A and B are shown apart, each in its own frame.
Chain A
Amino acid sequence: MSSLCRARIANEPGAVSRVPVLVIGSLLLPAVWLTLKYFLSVSDRYLPAPGQVFGAFSEIEPNIMVHVAFTSFRLVFGFVAGVVAGVAIGIGLTKSKNVAALVGPVLGSMRSIPPIAIIPFFLLWFGFSEVGRLLLVITGIAFNIAVSTFQILQDMPEKHRIMFKSFGLKESDMVLDYSLPRIIESLLPTVRFSLSTAMGVVIASELLGSQVGLGYLMQTARNTFSMHVIFLATILLGVMNAAMDFALVQCWKRAAYWR
């Protein structure tokens, strides 16, 4: 976006009034928490005090940032690999109608299976290994990305279809110059949804078989009735998801600069 455009948007009356709204929106949930805790006196068993929750930062061994780092690594690596695999499968399907017809029904049925439901398979196949957890995240999002990619490439604008025919070219032969940019400009909603799915799968896999990570932390905290630790892990998950989603949208906007 040009600096002129940015200046124009900043000068819009709505743009200025959005800042306080954003601040109020961010403070809404903490306000509900404080109201429930201090004005309605909800018990610690159901709702820990903010001081107790943030005090857990120093209580946990190993340091909570180690758990955050492991969960973040699994999330980022699994998510990126899942998106790349999904896009590659989607492009591959557009290369041949026969392959699409052959693999389409399998993809359609695989993507409808909730990723949580396939965790037992991965535990049996890969045990508690890191490879199993990463493959689980990749499998959890790749099929949806693949179907979405395939659909984007199938729904080619008429003007592009006519252009390719006019110059005797096939869009499937121009992966870098045509298919990838077309995917980039349309795939963002699916990718954002997949990020949330990936987060869920990472936590579920950590809940079931891990020695470190926020999911593992929540599981052990449940066993020791440490509600404040569960709260802290949940808050960190929310912050991580919001930060990654924001970073993803910003990166995507830069990648699809022509939109």
Chain B
Amino acid sequence: MQLLAARRQSQKKLPITVEGLSYSYKKLKVFDNLSFAAERSTVILRGPSGCGKTTLLKLLSGNVQADRVLSMPTSENSCLVLQEDSLLPWLTGTQNIVLFAGVSLEKVRQHPMYEMIANFVGQKACRLSYGQRRLIELFRAIIYRPKYLYLDEPFNFLDEKRIELILPFLQGEFMSDTCLTLSNHHREDLSRLGAATVYSFDGCFPVTQLSKS
């Protein structure tokens, strides 16, 4: 009981706490008894392609079941945005946002980030560029305000200028009730995300620990 209470206490303090996570994919052991605890509500997972970042995000968001885990954030009210474009191509950007995030059109238009997508959000998603679709997906996830937001390579297809414009929306008041975990393999300078805990993968399976940097 004491242990349970201590864990609950620690979960309150540490937004992302993972303990004893093991997961295998087709006999390949990906994670073996992995544990980490981030002291901040923003976590950056860094590592080369294929090191298991996306798999870890899928596990954390409850989209893949772990073989064994002692403690992990709840998958309820968690939102995972994959690096693969998932907007429905037959709907407009606006319809993709309103239908899925469940917010009114008025609320969408009032959001400070709306300016970034206003010029093209009314078009069908199939007619938009990868970068435009990426922006709409990020906007949708930000306006949805889940408790846990997982972004897999969120800055793919975006130029440096757009990334700089988005970063303020991934912190501060926009993420006040949200624990943000994002994976990133190419962008070194995410210093503007400020109070973030950065973990690096060592790149070989099974992953038993993440290096904190």
Q: Given A159, A168, A174, which contacts B99 in the complex, CB threshold below 8 Å?
A: A174
**A163 adjacent to B99 (CB under 8 Å):** no
A167 to B82, Cβ gap below 8 A? no
Q: Is the CB of A181 within 8 A of B88?
A: yes
In the assembly, what is the distance between CA of A128 and CA of B188, in Å?
Answer: 77
Other-chain contact of A258, B61, B89, B100 (Cβ < 8 Å)? B89
Which residues of A have CB within 8 Å of B77?
168
Q: How far is the CB of B54 from chain A (nearest CB, A)?
A: 11
Is B91 a contact partner of A166 (Cβ separation < 8 A)? Answer: no
Is A170's CB within 8 Å of the partner chain B?
A: no
CB distance from B213 to the nearest CB of A (A): 28
> In the complex, what residue of chain B is closest to A255 when comparing beta carbons?
B90
B125: which A residues are within 8 A, CB to CB?
A: 258
**Given known contacts A178-B88, A258-B89, A258-B124, is B81 in contact with A166 (CB within 8 Å)?**
yes
Q: Max chain B CB contacts within 10 Å: which of A162, A163, A167, A168?
A: A162
Judged by a CB distance under 8 angstroms, whether B144 is at the interface is yes
Contact B80 A166 (CB under 8 A): yes
**CB of A155 closer than 8 Å to a CB of B:** no
Q: How far is the CA of A136 from the CA of B99 in the complex (A)?
A: 40
Please measure, in the bound complex, the distance between the C-alpha atom of A53 and the C-alpha atom of B144, giving whole angstroms.
69
- CB neighbours of A258 from chain B (8 A): 89-90, 124-126
A177 to B98 Cα, complex, angstroms: 12
Q: How far is the CA of A160 from the CA of B91 in the complex (A)?
A: 14
Q: Which of A161-217 contact B (CB under 8 A)?
A: 161-163, 165-169, 174, 177-178, 181
Chain B residues near A174 (CB-CB < 8 A):
99
List the A side residues contacting B85 at CB < 8 Å: 159
Size of the A side of the interface (Cβ < 8 Å), in residues, is 16
Asked if A177 and B91 sit within 8 Å, CB to CB, the answer is: yes
B79 at the interface (CB under 8 A from A): yes
Interface residues in B82-104 by Cβ distance below 8 A to A read: 82, 84-86, 88-91, 95, 99-102
| Contact call A166/B78, Cβ cutoff below 8 A | yes
Assess whether B63 is in contact with A163, with CB atoms less than 8 Å apart. Answer: no
- Contacts A167-B101, A177-B99; A162 near B82 (Cβ below 8 A): yes
* Residues of B with C-beta under 8 A to A159: 82, 84-86
Chain B residues in 8 Å Cβ range of A162: 58, 61, 63, 80, 82, 86
Query: Which A-chain residue is minimally distant from B149 (CB atoms)?
Result: A166
Contact residues of A between 123 and 162, Cβ < 8 Å to B? 159-162
CA gap between A188 and B61 in the complex, in Å: 35
Which A residues lie at the B interface, using CB under 8 A? 159-163, 165-169, 174, 177-178, 181, 257-258
A-B pairs, top 5 by smallest CB distance, nearest first, are A258-B126, A258-B89, A159-B86, A166-B79, A181-B90
